[in-house]
Structure 1
């Protein structure tokens, strides 16, 4: 009798085993399918973000191109004469007047520094060294390079 009962239980277990394995397999398939859908969704999000970046970059490029064209047009328009002599003279004198004014102001400040140092009892070499430092030398070198290299480039481009 024990064998009959044991045989019936084992037979039922062996009959249920494939169904249990099928159920576990379907559960694995569903979780795998869900994971694949999550990956596909993540990929679509990345693709959308990449497309938005691409659209933004092309928009920036178009805007920069338009800005450069506007700048070129403005520079060309500034170089054109208006036909009114006093307005043309005033327009062409703005940059030199600003440059000379700055240079006069800069020289006045340096002279004042030297004068104050001499009044305080300093000797000439120390006063000049106080007024003329590495920053002044760098500024002076930049200005000289700008003016002389500008002439070289103007001649080369003609």
Structure 2
């Protein structure tokens, strides 16, 4: 409690000592809002990351026994069956993740991603390696947050987990 009361005095002193410096509020336990565009990145010469991944890419990365790239066998079978139903994109593929130029920080995992019409389109869960510095300096040309596509979440829930009854309770906008 004493630390909280002294923090205000400390910040006031810093503002007086460095009047030209920008000070940012602590966002913990407060509403956080950011905006950006779905876009890939080219952070270094010769590196080009597309903004979307699909189930095909999940299978391409699958390595049995590897702690980073192993998958449950029943998920592998479900992905190989390629029965995406209503969750497929216009190319007939199942979207898995996408990247955007949103400025996110630690603690944003699980934050909803909404489109311009206010529809839930994904869930934020990570940042690219080049974005780890964005807490200090955000560079919109390099920093990308990573979101799971809501269609993949719904496919996992409905088809893979067999919990279609949960999806039926939702008001989905297609």
Q: Same fold (TM over 0.5)?
A: no
Which TM-score band applies after superposition, normalised by the shorter structure?
Answer: under 0.3
Q: TM-score, normalised by structure 2?
A: 0.19
Structure number with bigger Rg: 1
Higher relative contact order (CA 8 A, sep 6+): 2
